[in-house]
Amino acid sequence: MAGGTPRDDARPGDRVIAPVTTAMITPFTDDLELDLEGAGRLASYLVARGTGTVLANGTTGESPTLHDEEPWKLLHAVKEAVGDRATVMVGTGSNDTAKTVSATRRAADEGADAVLVVTPYYNRPSQRAMVEHFRAAAESTDLPVLLYDVPGRTGTELWTSTLAELAEIENIIGVKDAAGNVAKTAETISATRGAPGGFEVWCGADELNLPLLSVGAVGVVSVAAHLVGPQIAEMIEVFPDDPERARELHLTCMPVHRSMFFEPSPGPLKGALAAVGLPAGRPRPPMVEALDETIDAVLEAWRRVGGEDPT
């Protein structure tokens, strides 16, 4: 589901954010500078293995520690590498509304196909305040806006009623749902039916990929797709007609999903990618490299599902 020229009657999110969207790590050099050549190679690798949209400058990509022009340099490198084979979404959210609006406004000029805006973290705004925050971001752009609800990291959850209110803004086309509550996801899908621009759910927690598909999610924004992209893509494709096969694929991937969070992400994933010769580098502080035993666990889980070293 790559990008393309939209129909005259297309809604803001049509054919822009793919069912398999990978929240790409940001490769760094040994001295923790951006590895732009590596970012391009990694993005191409992901697209060849089932990714239809690459998310750059997301939290898996260590967005809090990318500075100044780095997010835009990263976006350009990924866009150049994937061409018209995939779309590219960029994370523009922060806990500062003015900064979020500025980045979201700039994203279109820099070539992004969509933006991901995370719930403001640490300052824990009210539901009313979050409506205004996201409204300001959406009104600053014509790009599709995907909300990101991850209360375990931000300290604040988007209520179903808040999501329904935000869905009335035409270019807010859905949510990356990492709240970990399947019942709430189902309620959200029910409450946002008929939204002006369409409103859909992408699972943002790999362990819940299949459960969220079962209640109506349209895809995933995945960390695990770095390693099991083909399996996740097949799971989504076959689910409507062969749910047993989808379940088999999901359960097979579960050890991979779990092992990547034995330590804080993206340390385990970066270590595993580096071990098999893919661009990664160390995380920037305050994150640290994963322990060898954690990296070994990720690699073992990956190889059990048929993963092969790309080199």
**Which residue among the candidates 45, 121, 148, 270 is catalytic per the annotation?**
148
Asked whether residue 184 is domain-assigned, the answer is yes
Asked whether residue 89 is domain-assigned, the answer is yes
Asked whether residue 296 is domain-assigned, the answer is no
pLDDT at 309: 63
pLDDT at 311: 54
Provide the domain count of the chain. Answer: 1
**Confidence at 15, pLDDT banded by 50, 70, 90:** low
Asked whether residue 292 is domain-assigned, the answer is no
CA atoms in the 13 A half-sphere facing the CB of 148? 31
Range of the domain at 190: 20-239
Task: Return the CATH number at 53.
Answer: 3.20.20.70
148: annotated active-site residue: yes
Asked whether residue 167 is domain-assigned, the answer is yes
Asked whether residue 4 is domain-assigned, the answer is no
Helices (H), 115-224: 127-139, 151-154, 160-166, 182-191, 209-214
**Which residue among the candidates 79, 176, 184, 270 is catalytic per the annotation?**
176
**Confidence at 308, pLDDT banded by 50, 70, 90:** low
pLDDT at 142: 97
Asked whether residue 27 is domain-assigned, the answer is yes
Residue 111: Cβ within 10 Å count: 14
pTM score of the predicted model: 0.94
For residues 246-264, give the mean pLDDT. 97
* pLDDT single digits (tens) 196-215: 989 999 999 999 999 999 99
184: annotated active-site residue: no
Reply yes or no on whether the pLDDT at 4 is more than 50: no
Give the integer Cα–Cα distance in Å for 288 and 302.
22
Nearest to 175 by CA among 184, 253, 102: 184
* pLDDT single digits (tens) 74-127: 999 999 999 999 999 999 999 999 999 999 999 999 999 999 999 999 999 999
Asked whether residue 302 is domain-assigned, the answer is no
